[in-house]
Amino acid sequence: MHHISPVPAVPVFLRRLGPDPHENGARTSAGNGCPDILELADGNFAVIGIDMTAQSLDRLPPTVGCGPDERIVWVPRATLIKARPDIPRG
């Protein structure tokens, strides 16, 4: 069976969730605007973070899987906590 990706061919980003990571002159480790959480026009979300897939695959809990078209992304705790007020409840 052929797997059809749920990812839109041309994603439309509506807004950033949480503050700009470079707000008030802050610097991120990579310096490229990362990390971020974005809301898509289709109601789903995209996350920009550091790819930690390679070092994580053999350490996942027994009921957790990461498919060949997926990545495990590291996002700082503060990024997710600061985005909480912007995350829709339903």
Find the helix or strand (DSSP H, E) in which 77 lies: helix 77-83
Residue 5 is assigned to a structural domain of this protein: no
The shares of helix, strand and coil residues in the chain, as percent rounded to the nearest 5, are 20, 20, 65
Give tens-digit pLDDT for 58-68: 999 999 999 99
- Among 4-8, 50-54, 83-87, which is the least confidently predicted range? 4-8
pLDDT, tens digit, for every residue of 31-40?
Answer: 565 799 999 9
DSSP state of 16: E
Q: How far apart are CA 37 and CA 16, in angstroms?
A: 6
Domains: count for the chain: 1
What is the average pLDDT across 10-30?
80
Is 72 a member of any domain?
yes
Tokens of 8: 């839109």
The closest of 53, 48, 47, 49 to 65, measured between CA atoms, is: 53
60 belongs to a structural domain: yes
- Provide the domain limits for residue 46: 13-86
